[in-house]
Amino acid sequence: MHGIVPRLDLRQAFLQTLKGNSLLAVQVTPSALNFNVEVVGTTDYTNVQSALLTNTGNAPVQIASVTTSPNFTLVTNSGCQQIYAQGLCAITVAFTPLVATPPGPVSGTLRIVDNAPGSPHIVKLSGNAFSVAQRLRSPKP
């Protein structure tokens, strides 16, 4: 084998390295949830939205916490404590503008902390807060 240099296949070497090793990978979709107008101090549970957390790796992903910013409420994240390889779970959020929230655009985040690379995973949240007083002052058509 003198003088012959073996061809190095990087793809094959990478796949061989992964073989037998655990690969943790998570994908969150969509990257943003946009809510309709909501009256300050109320919650419309018919206007909830969900983000999907998908384990695209080959080992279970452990979820440490799922939280939202003020003005948004975590409705459900059932089945999201551990996601098996190629599994998924839905995280449902509602827009709940607090009484102290001024009318207008409101933004926040859904934050998912787990043991996969890239943690925490962030989903942007937005909505429009509307006050009853604002409605009373609106001109009639």
pLDDT in tens, the chain (141 residues): 444 444 444 444 444 444 457 789 999 999 999 998 898 988 888 889 999 999 999 999 999 999 999 999 999 887 789 999 999 999 999 999 988 788 899 999 999 999 999 999 999 999 999 887 654 444 555
Whether 123 and 30 have beta carbons less than 8 Å apart is answered as: yes
pLDDT, position 85: 94
The answer to whether the Cα torsion of 75, 56, 28, 26 is positive or negative is positive
Q: Class of the 24-134 domain?
A: mainly beta
Looking at residue 139, what is its pLDDT?
53
- Residue type present at position 29: T
Sign of CA dihedral 93, 98, 103, 108: negative
CA dihedral 79, 85, 87, 92 (to 10 degrees): 50
